[in-house]
């Protein structure tokens, strides 16, 4: 062995230099003895010093084991540090958020930070500012292509630049070029989202991280080199942009201290007296000031490893059953109307329930336990007239029974045992499971057919799945249940919308009872179908969503419209489960002033256009594809929104970096959602400084020995 031989050599050379340096003629025996003694003394000295040294090295070794974004040959520089600041203002049904992402460069080189981050599904990003020291640069909306070009040009010309682009409706990328060493640049994004109102309770979700998604399909090896992002999933045949939507996910210990912390504050101006503010995810501190409530997490900065959920309840008896907001923007009227149909719970209907449970690898850990508990609860709600089946899927789909069986005691016992035995493993191939769940619905059984889909939605091929749901749905209704600390809400909600059902999110085992009770209660309750909405000015084409889905107990009907003045009456009608007609009207003159309605409308419009292109593409009517892109681009530019085809870009005028200084690109990782097992990990650091230290010691010792020899030669 290399080390042992060296150690013997230098061991003696050290002791020799010691004895030699006394410069006394000693007998050989004595010298040998001294050599031995001094060697042992050294070892003893070292062992006694070891505790002190160990403390020092443990730290050294920790840094060696920690996961840094090193460049070849450098001393493992630390990653770009990230902190986020969310300031949310809720007025009425719209929440506006100012999100500041600060990237500080702790390294020696100039850096480019690339950060993929989640926003609430349906978020409309409408402003970008870049702050570097005193300078503030306003971003402009451009077509995606143009924004990318401007950004790349600025980057190449050593100017500071920032851009925000949309990868998925709930997934965005910030790129920030030329961060000077030791400095911090802040990217300020403003976005708005709709507040969810259901069963008398308002809810707002702030996602801070994302569950790594499964990318079905075979890798597209042909164009891999171009599309490689450092360490990210490769594009596959079904998910062409897999690399752009799968950043590294890391554990908190793998990050430099202080990175990935978010400070969050909310202000609720709802116009209603608020009774209580709750969060199933974080502990909150709320202060009341009239009708306004300020909310912050008790612990101050929170790690960005799970979604923050805030719910607030109006004072008892004041839960609104209708609301109208009005805004004038660029000479046009925008109206947002909300109506809770006052429908009472009716009689039971015989149902066929199909539970589909995701047992893929991304569900491992806490998630699968939540899913199992949710499924158990679902089984409990089955009545004696109902039939049911359970389908589990990972790489492939398997079902408990070949077809739906009656909910008899032996069948239920068998199902419970089956559910308890589920383990999470493998890929997330949803398509076969969906096909199996929806296939039986094609023939009419006289029952209400409901599919409960329990998953974390960690897939990249959402569009293809929406197509499939739209095509195969038949008479079934699809209900999605989102599991885990950071489910893919975009998928959940849209799948439920295409499936004409609802989605429910559960975050942990202790608080899952209420949302599930609501869901299963709702599924037993009668539904309001064939909804239609009549506006006084007869502008149906500008009202969104165009085709309102079915309504369940406690759910409001929400419509947003352009070009409708705040006068007249809005009439909504539909059909109850029993077949009777239902109608209700809403007076528009009582509209309260609202904010951001035009953006909400534009976002709905864009979603509608994109949904339609998904469906028409599936039907083979592709020529409208390019027109959709033009329409969306036009809307994005007019309403200043980030869309799949428009991005914000902020570019500095003056170069900051000397042309010969290098620029390192660095993907900023996201934290692994709390409680889930990691799917993509960084390689750990697996070498010690031992060889280098021993080499230095040995060489130095040899040198000293040589010097001593030379000195003795010259003296004698």
Partner 1 sequence: MSRCLLTLSLLFGAVFVVGAWIPLKAMLAQELLTLAWAETQARQQPARPWPWADTWPVARLDLGPGTEPLIVLEGVHGESLAFGPGRLAGATREGPIIIAGHRDTHFDALEHLKAGNLLRLQDQAGSWTDYEVTRIRIADSREEGIELDAMAPDSLLLVTCFPFDSLASDGPLRYLVEARVRPPLPLNLASGGGIADAGF
Within positions 397 to 436, which residues make up the interface with partner 1, using CB under 8 A? 423-427
DSSP H or E stretch at residue 500: none
Residue selected from 362, 392, 411, 468 as contacting partner 1 according to rule CB under 8 A: 362
Strand partners, 296: 285
DSSP single-letter state for residue 459: B
Per-residue binder mask for partner 1 (CB under 8 A), 5-24, x = binder: --x--x---x--xx--x-x-
Q: Which is nearer to partner 1, 9 or 183 (CB)?
A: 9
Q: Which is nearer to partner 1, 69 or 355 (CB)?
A: 69
Q: Does 698 bind partner 1 (CB under 8 A)?
A: yes
Residue selected from 303, 545, 568, 697 as contacting partner 1 according to rule CB under 8 A: 697
Which residue stretch of 1-9, 26-34, 276-284, 582-590 sits at the interface with partner 1 (rule: CB under 8 A)? 1-9
Instruction: Provide the 10 A C-beta neighbour count for residue 443.
Output: 8
CB of 248 to partner 1, least distance (A): 6
Residue selected from 36, 41, 53, 590 as contacting partner 1 according to rule CB under 8 A: 53
Q: How far apart are CA 495 and CA 463, in angstroms?
A: 10
φ, ψ dihedrals at 547, nearest 5°: -120, 95
Q: How far apart are CA 650 and CA 643, in angstroms?
A: 17
Which residue stretch of 163-171, 282-290, 508-516, 701-709 sits at the interface with partner 1 (rule: CB under 8 A)? 701-709
CB of 87 to partner 1, least distance (A): 33
Q: Which is nearer to partner 1, 116 or 505 (CB)?
A: 116
DSSP H or E stretch at residue 192: strand 184-194
CB of 405 to partner 1, least distance (A): 29
> In this structure, what token pair is assigned to residue 515?
């949302």
Distances (CA, A) of 385 to 306, 312, 414, 446, 479: 40, 37, 18, 12, 20
Instruction: Check if the beta carbon of residue 464 is closer than 8 Å to that of residue 238.
Output: yes
Q: Which is nearer to partner 1, 610 or 698 (CB)?
A: 698
Q: Which is nearer to partner 1, 426 or 432 (CB)?
A: 426
Which residue stretch of 274-282, 434-442, 561-569, 698-706 sits at the interface with partner 1 (rule: CB under 8 A)? 698-706
Per-residue binder mask for partner 1 (CB under 8 A), 247-266, x = binder: -x--x-x-------------
Q: Does 568 bind partner 1 (CB under 8 A)?
A: no
Q: How far apart are CA 233 and CA 395, in angstroms?
A: 18
Which residue stretch of 102-110, 203-211, 469-477, 705-713 sits at the interface with partner 1 (rule: CB under 8 A)? 705-713
Question: Which alpha helices (DSSP H) does 484-577 contain, by range?
Answer: 489-498, 513-524
Q: Which is nearer to partner 1, 232 or 503 (CB)?
A: 232
**For residues 652-691, which are near partner 1 according to CB under 8 A?**
677-691
Q: Which is nearer to partner 1, 330 or 716 (CB)?
A: 716
Q: Does 707 bind partner 1 (CB under 8 A)?
A: yes
Q: 3-class SS at 352? A: strand
Q: Which is nearer to partner 1, 195 or 430 (CB)?
A: 430
Instruction: Check if the beta carbon of residue 523 is closer than 8 Å to that of residue 560.
Output: no
**For residues 28-47, which are near partner 1 according to CB under 8 A?**
42-43, 46
Instruction: Check if the beta carbon of residue 193 is closer than 8 Å to that of residue 122.
Output: yes
CB of 53 to partner 1, least distance (A): 7
Q: Which is nearer to partner 1, 406 or 691 (CB)?
A: 691
Q: What is the largest CA-CA distance in the chain?
A: 120
**For residues 217-246, which are near partner 1 according to CB under 8 A?**
228, 230-233
Q: Which is nearer to partner 1, 212 or 549 (CB)?
A: 212
CB of 433 to partner 1, least distance (A): 17
**For residues 56-85, which are near partner 1 according to CB under 8 A?**
57-58, 60-66, 68-76
Q: Does 214 bind partner 1 (CB under 8 A)?
A: yes
| 3-state SS, one letter per residue, for 359-422 | CCHHHCEHHHHHHHHHHHHHHHCCCCCCEEEEEEECCCEEECCCCCEECCHHHHHHHHHHHHCC
**For residues 464-483, which are near partner 1 according to CB under 8 A?**
none
> In this structure, what token pair is assigned to residue 489?
């809400």
Distances (CA, A) of 715 to 13, 25, 26, 27, 396: 20, 13, 16, 19, 85
Helix pair 28-65, 2-21: axis angle to 10 deg? 130
CB of 207 to partner 1, least distance (A): 21
Which residue stretch of 50-58, 291-299, 599-607, 640-648 sits at the interface with partner 1 (rule: CB under 8 A)? 50-58
Residue selected from 379, 565, 577, 694 as contacting partner 1 according to rule CB under 8 A: 694
Q: Which is nearer to partner 1, 68 or 535 (CB)?
A: 68
Q: Does 616 bind partner 1 (CB under 8 A)?
A: no
CB of 687 to partner 1, least distance (A): 4
Strand partners, 159: 655
Distances (CA, A) of 290 to 197, 276, 594: 22, 13, 19
Residues 6+ apart with CB under 8 A from 100: 84, 85, 186, 187, 188, 189
């Amino acid at each position: 062995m290399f080390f042992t031989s060296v150690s013997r050599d230098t061991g003696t050379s050290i002791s020799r230099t010691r004895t030699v340096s006394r410069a006394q003629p000693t007998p050989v025996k004595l010298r040998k003895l001294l050599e031995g003694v001094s060697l042992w003394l050294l070892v003893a000295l070292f062992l006694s010093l070891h505790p002190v040294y160990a403390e020092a090295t443990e730290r050294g070794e920790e840094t060696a084991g920690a996961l840094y974004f090193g460049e070849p040959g450098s001393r493992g520089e630390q990653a770009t540090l990230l902190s986020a600041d969310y300031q949310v203002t809720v007025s009425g049904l719209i929440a506006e958020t100012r999100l500041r992402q600060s990237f500080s460069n702790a390294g020696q080189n100039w850096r480019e930070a690339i950060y993929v981050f989640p926003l609430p599904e349906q978020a409309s990003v409408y402003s970008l500012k870049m702050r570097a020291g005193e300078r503030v640069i306003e971003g402009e909306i451009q077509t995606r292509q143009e924004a990318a070009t401007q950004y790349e040009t600025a980057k190449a010309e050593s100017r500071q630049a920032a851009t925000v682009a949309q990868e998925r409706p709930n997934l965005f990328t910030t790129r920030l070029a030329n961060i000077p060493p030791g400095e911090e640049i802040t990217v300020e994004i403003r976005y708005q989202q709709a507040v969810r109102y259901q069963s008398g309770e308002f809810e707002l979700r702030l996602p801070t991280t994302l569950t790594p998604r499964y990318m079905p399909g075979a890798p597209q090896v042909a164009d891999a080199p171009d599309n490689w992002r450092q360490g990210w999933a490769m594009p596959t045949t079904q998910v062409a942009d897999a690399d752009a939507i799968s950043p590294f996910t890391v554990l908190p210990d793998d990050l430099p201290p202080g990175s990935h912390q978010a400070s969050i504050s909310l202000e609720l101006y709802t116009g209603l007296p608020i009774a209580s503010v709750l969060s199933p995810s974080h502990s909150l501190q709320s202060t009341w000031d009239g009708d306004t409530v300020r909310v912050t997490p008790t612990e101050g900065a929170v790690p960005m490893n799970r979604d923050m959920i805030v719910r607030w309840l109006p004072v008892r008896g004041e839960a609104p059953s209708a609301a109208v907001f009005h805004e004038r923007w660029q000479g046009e009227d925008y109206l947002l109307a909300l109506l809770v149909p006052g429908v009472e719970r009716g009689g039971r209907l015989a149902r066929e329930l199909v539970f589909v449970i995701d047992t893929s690898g991304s569900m491992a850990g806490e998630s699968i336990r939540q899913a199992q508990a949710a499924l158990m609860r679902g089984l409990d709600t089955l009545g004696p007239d109902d039939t049911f089946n359970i389908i589990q899927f990972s790489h492939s789909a398997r079902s408990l029974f070949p077809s739906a069986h009656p909910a008899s005691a032996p069948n239920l016992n068998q199902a419970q045992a089956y559910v308890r035995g589920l383990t999470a493993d493998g890929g997330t191939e949803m398509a076969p499971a969906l096909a199996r769940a929806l296939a039986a619905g094609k023939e009419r059984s006289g029952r209400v057919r409901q599919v409960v889909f329990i998953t974390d939605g960690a897939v990249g091929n959402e569009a293809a799945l929406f197509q499939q749901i739209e095509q195969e749905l038949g008479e079934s209704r699809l209900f999605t249940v989102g599991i885990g600390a950071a489910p893919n809400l975009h998928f959940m909600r849209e799948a439920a919308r295409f499936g004409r059902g609802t989605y429910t999110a559960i975050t942990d085992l202790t608080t899952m009872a209420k949302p599930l009770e609501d869901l299963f209660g709702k599924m037993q309750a009668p539904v309001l179908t064939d909804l239609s909405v009549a506006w006084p000015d007869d502008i149906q084409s500008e009202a969104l969503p165009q085709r309102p889905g079915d309504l369940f107990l406690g759910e409001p009907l929400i419509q947003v419209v352009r070009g409708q003045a705040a006068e007249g009456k809005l009439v909504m009608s539909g059909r109850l489960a029993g077949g009777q007609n239902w109608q209700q009207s809403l007076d528009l003159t009582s509209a309260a002033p609202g904010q951001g309605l035009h953006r909400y409308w534009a976002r709905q419009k864009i979603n509608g256009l994109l949904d339609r292109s998904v469906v028409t593409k599936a039907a083979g009517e592709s020529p409208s594809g390019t027109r959709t892109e033009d329409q969306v681009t036009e809307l994005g530019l007019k309403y200043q929104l980030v869309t799949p085809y428009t991005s914000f870009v902020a570019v500095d005028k003056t170069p900051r970096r000397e042309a010969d200084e290098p620029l390192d690109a660095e993907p900023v990782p996201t934290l692994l959602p709390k409680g889930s097992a990691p799917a993509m990990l960084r390689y750990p650091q697996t070498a010690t400084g031992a060889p280098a230290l021993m080499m230095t010691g040995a060489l130095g010792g040899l040198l000293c020995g040589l010097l001593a020899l030379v000195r003795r030669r010259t003296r004698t």
